[in-house]
Structure 1
Amino acid sequence: MGPVALLNASVLYPSLIRNLLMHQATAGLIGARWTDAIHDEWIRNLLEDRPDLSEDRLHWTRQQMEAVVHDATVQGYESLIPALVVPHPDDRHVLAEAITAEAELLATWNLRDFPTTAIQRYGLEVLSPDQLVTRLLVNTPEETKAAIEALRLLLRRPPIPSHS
């Protein structure tokens, strides 16, 4: 298995990024981790922004994620939250979750919310999904390309040609 990566709500919110990271996880290229709070956040935010989506469908998506990535749900992080310092106190739970997961990586679009000074002592690196997938392409090119191709083949509306 590749590096353990906590997937923040911001990277699970967009379906294409969520699916891309799930394909990387099911291929064993990352050890995806999340919490119930992370799932609740991305689902809540997506429903607020997209009232046309079905809550049942998003909960089904969550169940599928949990079914294919075993032992991904992190628990028992709450006691760490009060002692942690990040620019936005509401983000302390994310750092606590990553620490508890023994994650090497935190995948988030909110890079500024987790400065190196706040996270380096925990052996944690913060990457955007783009940076994470780029690293995977460098370290495990064939496996990463195969996982991306598997996702591409599922995209039908409209289909994305392989040269894109």
Structure 2
Amino acid sequence: MSFPAYLDACCLVPINLTDVLLRLAETQTYRPLWSERVLNEVERNLPRVSSMTPERARRRVRVMRTQFRDALVTDYESLVPSMTNEQKDRHVLAAAVRGGAAVLVTANTKDFPYEATAPYDIGVVTPDEFLLDQLDLHPEQTLRCLKELVADRRRPPEDLFSFLPKLSKTVPDFCAAVHRRVGE
């Protein structure tokens, strides 16, 4: 079984970051986890922060549900009151606990202090840290995913070096590490 990682909504809204994360999950370097509440948040926020229409946002989330059927964590709501992290994100930690996540991937690490996650043996990492770990542990799969991602982009066509600056808005250290590995 792959390494279980709970993906917070903030990791699933930026399209480039999401593409990388989900392509890696398809190679089974890790198993993504999320809740219906997180997916609803993604669907609600995509049109607000991008040019994506509500219909395209619904379709994107529907594809995520279909492609990663075992990612959905359910029956975590009873754990929410016992969580001690930031109140608005207690549902995230509760779902990560119920799903058996080894790590919670979020840009909002301050909302998940060590004291709140340590009892459940869940690490909290940024998307940058998570992808750097993936690159270190699975360099071939990670680089292949990136190359396939840019090869699939046709409007406009891209290569790795035109894509990395866009991705670096969310994961700058990872992009720098990829750039060092593949050279120019």
Q: TM-score scaled to structure 2, two decimals?
A: 0.82
Identity between Structure 1 and Structure 2 (%):
31
Report 1:15-34 matches (<5 A): 15-34=15-34
Structure 2 segments unaligned to the other structure (5+ residues): 165-184
Q: Which residue of 2 aligns with 1:117?
A: 115
Match runs of 1:24-63 below 5 Å: 24-50=24-50, 52-63=51-62
Task: Return the alpha-carbon distance in structure 2 between the equivalents of residues 49 and 133 of structure 1.
Answer: 23
Once the two structures are superposed, residues 6-48 of structure 1 have per-residue CA deviations (whole angstroms, 9 ceiling, x without a partner) of 1100000111111111101111011001111001112212223
Partner of 1:13: 13
Aligned residues between the structures: 162
Can you list the C-alpha shifts for 1:63-101, whole angstroms capped at 9, x where unaligned?
Answer: 111222231111000000011101x21110000010011
Letter in 1 for 2:87: P
The TM-score normalised by the length of structure 1 is 0.92
After superposition, the C-alpha distances for 1:82-137 in whole angstroms (9 at most, x for unaligned) are 11101x21110000010011000111111111111210111111111111111011
Q: Which runs of 5+ in 1 are unaligned?
A: none
CA distance in 1, matches of 2:56, 2:34: 19
Please give the secondary structure, in 2, of the residue aligned with 1:53: coil
* Bigger RCO (CA 8 Å, 6+ sep): 1
CA drift of 1:153 comes to: 1.4
Aligned-residue CA RMSD (Å): 1.5
Is 1:76 the counterpart of 2:75? The answer is: yes
Post-superposition offset of 1:159: 2.9
